[in-house]
Structures are given as C-alpha cells and as structure tokens.
Amino acid sequence: MRIWKFGDNVDTDQIIPADYLTTGDAKKLAAHAFAKVRPEFAKEVKQGDIIVAGENFGCGSSREHAPRALLGAGVRCVIAKSFARIFFRNSINIGLPLIEADVSDRIEEGDEIEIRFEDGVITNHTKRAEYQFTPLPEFMQRLLQSGGLINYIKRMK
C-alpha cells in the first residue's frame, strides 16, 4: 500500500481529464487518472493504495467518472480535510470509501497506515501516531461494504 499526497482543491478534471471521458469503464478511466498533474500515478498505483489530500477534494464537475477512475485504479480510499459535496455522494454511491480528516500535514508518502473505518481511527505506524475521524453513518458503511448503492439495492431484493 502506498500513500499518494495531493494538495487542496483537486478537481475532477485533474482526477480524470475531460479528454478521457469517452467511457464509463473504471479500468479504462484508471489508465488516465491524474494524467496531466501526476502522469506516473496511473502506471504506479497499486491495489489498496490511499490518497491523502487537503481541502475540497473532488471539486469541479459533478462527473461520476472521477471516483470511478480511482476505484478502477485500485485506490482503497481517499482521506481529505474536506470533499466537494457531489464528489462525496458520487463516491459513496459507487463504493469508494472517503474519510474526512485533517491529517494531510501528518501523513506523508511512504508512511504505513492502517484504517479502522468502523472505529474512526487512522494509525500511522511510521510515526507511531493515531488520528481520529468521525466514522460514516452505519447506513453509508453498509453501502460501501456492498460495493455501492446499486449493489446494495440488488442485495435487498
């Protein structure tokens, strides 16, 4: 697992540039994730990697392609100080876990972390520190565990 650090105001055009919005396929989108701001991301990201960012992650267009590209790339979750409202909802709906926590100045690329979603605890093993966050409501956690809203509804039938 690797930590990928980003700053404030990472918009959906940075996550998946508009040039690549010709598909909804998560794997195809993932091949172009952060193509214009971190071209190495798509080639080097691994299943289970985590993005840590500052404020307003996912601002800009309300396209669902952005969280879908991150899921397709294998990103386990995004931790940010805050999220754009529509990005937040789109992410939960498609099954991408988000954590709202002000830790971008305390977690660095290369740190080994562990996340306990249900308890609201991030353990930074590298720095021997723990950071608290407010866990998502139980219903949202069930949506994520189901792989998103559509999978949740299918299981309810």
Q: How far apart are the first and last CA of the chain?
A: 35
Domains assigned to the chain: 3-111 (3.20.19.10)
> E strands within 6-156?
50-53, 77-80, 98-100, 113-116, 121-124, 129-132
> What's the pTM?
0.94
Tokens of 83: 């999220």
Which of these, 98, 1, 111, lies nearest to 57 by C-alpha position?
A: 98
73 vs 101: CA distance, rounded Å: 22
Which of these, 95, 100, 101, 102, lies nearest to 140 by C-alpha position?
A: 95
- Digit-by-digit pLDDT tens for the chain (157 residues) are 799 999 999 999 999 999 999 888 999 999 999 999 999 999 999 999 999 999 999 999 888 999 999 999 999 999 999 999 999 999 999 999 999 999 999 999 999 999 999 999 999 999 999 999 999 999 899 889 888 898 888 887 7
19 vs 121: CA distance, rounded Å: 38
